[in-house]
Structure 1
């Protein structure tokens, strides 16, 4: 049975969260909305546009809330995510990874005809030319492109200021493409735990970006848009005087990886965003003293980072560990839990955890409010 068949009758029923079949991905709407409002207010107060990253949530419903709060569009890591959001009426989409395979380039050109404000990154002149040819074949339209600048992790992006200028020249020779600016996303900096160390690393990278922007400006390509930043560095990004928009993503959920970081640089300051995404589980076996087996294992959560921690249902001191594909367990005081008890776990790494589920179960308090599809689930191409 699918989630609608299992749970639609619980929508609006007081206390119905407890009746959800587990494991289940639960989204606290009040916390989500506060997180969205907090980041929107931060960006506005610093004169920055907000183009949140949908790779975190892959959700048309959440994207609509972000747009309503003032976002100018959404970022998508992959073309498939952008197609899914466009199908849901989301505009102002920016694809943050190069689109290179020939079938994908054709899809990109087709998406451009039906998605207002679409942008994509390029980091290679040959790719720019291939995209331009596809755009021309698709119809009477132009596509906005952003030069992706490698921040030093060597994943994607032009590798030097000279390469950026070479790419700029290639783009300007293609009538089907419109150069809009640069992208600079320092992904490896987002989870540096110390604020001071993160800030120092970002300022060093910002100095490099300034050399790229200067070279582009000297070549007549001063960027209209400088897009990048992330949840871990957003406060630092705002003070660099470089970015025009932020690509923050995980702030909507605030997973355990970000909870471990000092996001403010202010001793004793509270975490500025709330945990809104949980995995609700159930104790299904309790025959060993102090060990309580849960119905959520490797298939229910991302396992590329720290193990999840307890949000509600058990002591904060309870320790979770995996017991295989289908099971996890909590170690805590003997007798602390009983068969059937509900445990809510904080998502350890939100993006890949979300991709394991078909739907969000959106709650207000302990009542199921809605069931939202993970619109872009599995859309990795």
Structure 2
């Protein structure tokens, strides 16, 4: 176990803390030139306010981050399931540490490059929610497992099983723990249906260098709404998932005393728990992989999260922890202003940004923008349409709510964390979050 490694939390806190010693400069676009040369710790020490920063800018809210992590941990504990949050949402070791400290089973990631980031920061228990097919990645994972890490990956075909076996055989490596992935028609990866998945499971059982540890899958690829059609697709898939588990358990196919059943993004985790939750216990762990909840948003997840579908402002709902600030750079047509932030700075794949307010400068009170909307984004600009009676001028700061944290944080190497509780108008910078995409 490396220096700073926590046996309880499974992350190297010394490595995470060292991020605070990074000297900030031109590589960190959220940092004004006047602050270059300061360390991340100095930048987030409370000596700066929002008004000391520059636009365009993505900020995070300290209270929202803390509250969202605690809320999800509490929900999982109350429902008797574990959580391996999908770390690809943030790729932020400091946030992973907070999630692990709140009781997470481990961290989920999507590819070998992301796994390497996690191992650099000492994360010991990892789930790769994907299949391993690249030979160098397979060998590297085998080496990490031999060194003491637990990395659970997925496989969804007999051909995938054969490939893993051949590469591990050639490398003389030990065995890998894998989950058979079940998918659904029209979905993404995953063996299509119970029979196909059962065939894959039997192939894993027959492979000398693989161990069948359970079942993985992702219901979120099958629906994008919580209307009757969307929920029917999700629940039908989860029914197949449970049937596969009951079949494999009945046939004594698993090769572990701790079977993992894992599904659940940030949109349908309540359905996952309702259908798969009764399987937990007696050597079976049901593990959710929700990742977007820690940041949440003002768009897609605000409307579909199980904790906010019916009332996005409910006391137990997640709260968006991200805000985007952009200035008006042009206003040459009536009712149209061009903002300085675009596709290189903010997400647009799950809905365009939402105007929340406008002010003269950062750190000044905002006034509402009734009826205003972002109608399009270019690489570096956004189109703000508004009614003629609104006063919008070049240099004004527009606050935008965003949709989809997974494609927001990947555009920023470092984000200031604000304390908006003490001062919601001109909050203090109380920290930073460093990402590794």
Counterpart for residue 289 of structure 2 = 247
Provide the C-alpha distance between the structure 2 equivalents of 1:191 and 1:216, rounded to a whole number of angstroms. Answer: 30
1:274 is displaced (CA, Å) by 0.5
Counterpart for residue 157 of structure 2 = 124
In structure 2, relative to structure 1, the CA distance for the partners of 1:15 and 1:287 (3 Å cut) is farther
1:189 is displaced (CA, Å) by 4.6
Counterpart for residue 233 of structure 1 = 268
Counterpart for residue 191 of structure 1 = 224
1:115 is displaced (CA, Å) by 5.9
Provide the C-alpha distance between the structure 2 equivalents of 1:368 and 1:182, rounded to a whole number of angstroms. Answer: 43
Provide the C-alpha distance between the structure 2 equivalents of 1:215 and 1:330, rounded to a whole number of angstroms. Answer: 55
In structure 2, relative to structure 1, the CA distance for the partners of 1:169 and 1:371 (3 Å cut) is same
In structure 2, relative to structure 1, the CA distance for the partners of 1:264 and 1:199 (3 Å cut) is farther
Q: Is 2:249 the partner of 1:220?
A: no
Q: Is the 8 A contact 1:227 1:246 kept in 2?
A: yes
Counterpart for residue 306 of structure 1 = 351
Counterpart for residue 431 of structure 2 = 370
Query: Aligned to 1:221, what secondary structure does the other structure show?
Result: coil
Provide the C-alpha distance between the structure 2 equivalents of 1:357 and 1:36, rounded to a whole number of angstroms. Answer: 21
Provide the C-alpha distance between the structure 1 equivalents of 2:402 and 2:168, rounded to a whole number of angstroms. Answer: 40
Query: Aligned to 1:152, what secondary structure does the other structure show?
Result: coil
**Unmatched tracts of structure 2, length 5 or more:** 1-25, 281-285, 359-367, 421-426
In structure 2, relative to structure 1, the CA distance for the partners of 1:327 and 1:269 (3 Å cut) is closer
Q: Is the 8 A contact 2:88 2:108 kept in 1?
A: yes
Counterpart for residue 135 of structure 2 = 102
Number of equivalent positions: 375
1:280 is displaced (CA, Å) by 2.2
Q: TM-score, normalised by structure 1?
A: 0.88
Q: Is the 8 A contact 1:109 1:138 kept in 2?
A: no
In structure 2, relative to structure 1, the CA distance for the partners of 1:136 and 1:21 (3 Å cut) is farther
**1:111-131 Cα distance to aligned partner (Å, 9 max, x none):** 333462211001123322433
Counterpart for residue 361 of structure 2 = none
**Aligned to 1:152, which of 174, 181, 185?**
185
Calculate the aligned-residue CA RMSD, in Å: 2.6
Tell which deviates more after alignment, 272-281 or 137-146.
137-146
Provide the C-alpha distance between the structure 2 equivalents of 1:266 and 1:327, rounded to a whole number of angstroms. Answer: 31
Counterpart for residue 281 of structure 1 = 326
Provide the C-alpha distance between the structure 2 equivalents of 1:56 and 1:137, rounded to a whole number of angstroms. Answer: 34
Counterpart for residue 313 of structure 2 = 270
Q: Is 2:75 the partner of 1:42?
A: yes
**1:199-221 Cα distance to aligned partner (Å, 9 max, x none):** 43333222222332233223312
Q: Is 2:118 the partner of 1:57?
A: no
Provide the C-alpha distance between the structure 2 equivalents of 1:284 and 1:113, rounded to a whole number of angstroms. Answer: 55
Q: Is the 8 A contact 2:187 2:221 kept in 1?
A: no
Counterpart for residue 239 of structure 2 = 207
Provide the C-alpha distance between the structure 2 equivalents of 1:267 and 1:348, rounded to a whole number of angstroms. Answer: 18
**Unmatched tracts of structure 1, length 5 or more:** none
Provide the C-alpha distance between the structure 2 equivalents of 1:265 and 1:363, rounded to a whole number of angstroms. Answer: 24
Q: Is the 8 A contact 1:283 1:293 kept in 2?
A: yes
1:353 is displaced (CA, Å) by 2.4
Provide the C-alpha distance between the structure 1 equivalents of 2:325 and 2:318, rounded to a whole number of angstroms. Answer: 20
1:34 is displaced (CA, Å) by 0.5
Provide the C-alpha distance between the structure 1 equivalents of 2:237 and 2:60, rounded to a whole number of angstroms. Answer: 35
Counterpart for residue 342 of structure 1 = 397
Provide the C-alpha distance between the structure 2 equivalents of 1:140 and 1:120, rounded to a whole number of angstroms. Answer: 16
Provide the C-alpha distance between the structure 1 equivalents of 2:309 and 2:343, rounded to a whole number of angstroms. Answer: 36
Q: TM-score, normalised by structure 2?
A: 0.78
1:308 is displaced (CA, Å) by 0.8
Tell which deviates more after alignment, 41-50 or 162-171.
162-171
In structure 2, relative to structure 1, the CA distance for the partners of 1:266 and 1:120 (3 Å cut) is closer
Provide the C-alpha distance between the structure 2 equivalents of 1:249 and 1:325, rounded to a whole number of angstroms. Answer: 27
Provide the C-alpha distance between the structure 1 equivalents of 2:337 and 2:51, rounded to a whole number of angstroms. Answer: 18
1:225 is displaced (CA, Å) by 0.9
In structure 2, relative to structure 1, the CA distance for the partners of 1:242 and 1:201 (3 Å cut) is farther
1:148 is displaced (CA, Å) by 0.7
Q: Is 2:360 the partner of 1:360?
A: no
**1:117-154 Cα distance to aligned partner (Å, 9 max, x none):** 21100112332243345445667643211111113334
Q: Is the 8 A contact 1:55 1:76 kept in 2?
A: yes
In structure 2, relative to structure 1, the CA distance for the partners of 1:165 and 1:23 (3 Å cut) is same
1:348 is displaced (CA, Å) by 2.1
Counterpart for residue 15 of structure 2 = none
Q: Is 2:365 the partner of 1:330?
A: no
Provide the C-alpha distance between the structure 2 equivalents of 1:300 and 1:268, rounded to a whole number of angstroms. Answer: 29
